[in-house]
Amino acid sequence: MREALQTMTEEGFAHLIETRTSELAKSLAEEAVQVRQEIYGKAVYVRGLIEVSNICKNDCLYCGIRASNKNCQRYRLTPEEILECAGEGYRLGFRTFVLQGGEDAYYTDELLVSLLTKLKEKYPDCAITLSLGERSRESYKTLKEAGADRYLLRHETADKPHYETLHPSSMSFDNRMECLRNLQELGYQVGCGFMVGSPGQTPQTLAKDLLFIRDFKPDMCGIGPFVPHADTVFAREPSGTVELTCFLLSIIRLLHPPVLLPATTALGTIHPEGRELGILSGANVVMPNLSPENVRGKYELYDNKLNTGAEAAQGLKSLRERMAAIGYEVVTDRGDVKK
Ligand code: SAH
């Protein structure tokens, strides 16, 4: 299938998704696991996720920390608190930190440059990933020069009209895509991605996501099921499924074999073995939560978001055991993309 996917048309992808069967999913997963094995062996890379702020100027219709959600208890971490989290993560064995947050103007270039400089001084053997939304090319450049290695910015959907139904008119599909191109040109390891089962998604919009990924060749790709949040417009929409998420994980692995592909928290949230199923479909990254205990429940992108057990950085032992049980080994080095 790997070869066929390289030249498949948009209609071809839509048809593949529409007519999928559990047998096809199984054979794609086997092929994806084999392809990943050749590049990454049995390694599962871990990243310590620090959720720096749930204050956000944007109002994405699906997101629990959207600006208009009055029920969200807001917080932000200071640079000192972020450095403390990283210290805790370092002691636990993490060598990659992901700083993710809402678009919060508190995190100016100046603040981030000073923070990145300190992080790199203290932990020169660690990779730093930022996931702070859309910023100017200049800002991305400044942050790269200050030591940021990677940037995660999900494209959310590669179909412009669909993008416009998920976001307020103040946000622009073209700008998001432009940000991704800028990040790539500036030399970041870049992650795009989308939610599976977001309201309005169709086999046709998913086909566009797959074409975009094949063409863009991201170093990372975050895909996880959409899960509704009670305080959003989409409160009553159904969640995405484990089955379609895993099917797409396998296709993405086959489309772009070196991609670093997380088995996401959202996948772990909708199914007790979600992470394992993701790994067995071709994923090779897990991102346990390293945020301070007192704010951990507040970065609530969707209802019932997991942050304990193997989903917590402190649960690394349990994560190791769970991965070992399916024949995989948790690796705590930087886990750079292998090109
Ligand atoms: N402000 C940053 C980080 C956003 S939160 C940015 O713009 O990139 C990280 C990701 O969580 C989002 O990109 C989105 O795909 C996902 N997310 C948000 N709400 C969600 C929901 N209800 N269900 C599943 N995933 C969600």
Q: Is 102 in the pocket of ligand 1 (CB under 6 A)?
A: yes
For residue 314, pLDDT over 90 is answered with: no
- At residue 309, the pLDDT reads 86
Q: Is 62 in the pocket of ligand 1 (CB under 6 A)?
A: yes
256 is written with which tokens?
A: 């772009």
**Residue range 95-124: mean pLDDT, rounded:** 98
DSSP letter assigned to residue 76: B
* Total structural domains within the chain: 1
**CA of residue 105 to ligand 1 center, whole Å:** 18
Q: Tell me if 267 sits within 8 A of 278, measured CB to CB.
A: yes
Cα dihedral 278/283/289/290 (nearest 10): 160
**CA of residue 301 to ligand 1 center, whole Å:** 6
DSSP letter assigned to residue 74: -
DSSP letter assigned to residue 277: H
Domain range holding 20?
A: 2-331
**CA of residue 215 to ligand 1 center, whole Å:** 23
**Residue range 42-61: mean pLDDT, rounded:** 98
Cα separation of 28 and 203, whole Å? 17
Atom 2 of ligand 1 has which residue's CA nearest to it?
133
The crossing angle, in degrees rounded to 10, of helices 242-255 and 22-40 is: 50
- At residue 182, the pLDDT reads 98
- At residue 311, the pLDDT reads 85
CATH number at residue 242: 3.20.20.70
Question: What does the mean pLDDT of the chain come to?
Answer: 97
- At residue 140, the pLDDT reads 98
- b/e for 251-286, b at 16 or more Cβ within 10 A? bbbbbbbebbbbbbbbbbbbbeebbbbbbbbbbbbb
162 occurs within a structural domain: yes
**Residue range 229-243: mean pLDDT, rounded:** 97
336 occurs within a structural domain: no
For residue 250, pLDDT over 90 is answered with: yes
31 occurs within a structural domain: yes
**Residue range 253-275: mean pLDDT, rounded:** 97
For residue 262, pLDDT over 90 is answered with: yes
Beta-sheet pairing, 127-131 with 43-46: unpaired
Question: Rounded to 5 degrees, what are φ and ψ at 53?
Answer: -165, 140
- At residue 239, the pLDDT reads 98
Q: Is 131 in the pocket of ligand 1 (CB under 6 A)?
A: yes
- At residue 65, the pLDDT reads 98
46 is written with which tokens?
A: 């871990």
More confident residue, 309 or 60: 60
Q: What is the pLDDT of residues 141-186, one digit of tens each?
A: 999 999 999 999 999 999 999 999 999 999 999 999 999 999 999 9
**CA of residue 288 to ligand 1 center, whole Å:** 16
Q: Is 201 in the pocket of ligand 1 (CB under 6 A)?
A: no
Pocket test for ligand 1, best of 104, 154, 163, 220 (most atoms within 8 A of CB): 154
Give alpha helix (H) positions in the chain.
Answer: 2-7, 10-18, 22-40, 79-92, 109-122, 137-145, 160-166, 173-185, 203-216, 242-255, 265-270, 274-279, 316-325
Q: Is 92 in the pocket of ligand 1 (CB under 6 A)?
A: no
Residue 133's CB is within 10 A of a number of other CB atoms, namely 18
DSSP codes of every residue in 82-128: HHHHHHHHHHHT--EEEEEE---TTS-HHHHHHHHHHHHHH-TT-EE
14 is written with which tokens?
A: 């839509």
Side-chain half-sphere exposure of 267, counting CA atoms within 13 A: 32
- At residue 339, the pLDDT reads 80
**CA of residue 158 to ligand 1 center, whole Å:** 15
337 occurs within a structural domain: no
Q: Is 195 in the pocket of ligand 1 (CB under 6 A)?
A: yes
243 occurs within a structural domain: yes
CB neighbours of 328 closer than 8 A, spacing ≥ 6? Answer: 42, 43, 44, 279
Confidence band, pLDDT 50/70/90 cuts, at residue 9? very high
- At residue 317, the pLDDT reads 93
Q: Tell me if 13 sits within 8 A of 207, measured CB to CB.
A: yes
Q: What is the pLDDT of residues 181-196, one digit of tens each?
A: 999 999 999 999 999 9
For residue 310, pLDDT over 90 is answered with: no
- At residue 135, the pLDDT reads 98
80 occurs within a structural domain: yes
**Residue range 1-5: mean pLDDT, rounded:** 94
**Residue range 241-255: mean pLDDT, rounded:** 98
- At residue 6, the pLDDT reads 97
Question: Rounded to 5 degrees, what are φ and ψ at 303?
Answer: -65, 145
Percent of all residues in the chain with a pLDDT value above 90, rounded to a whole number: 97
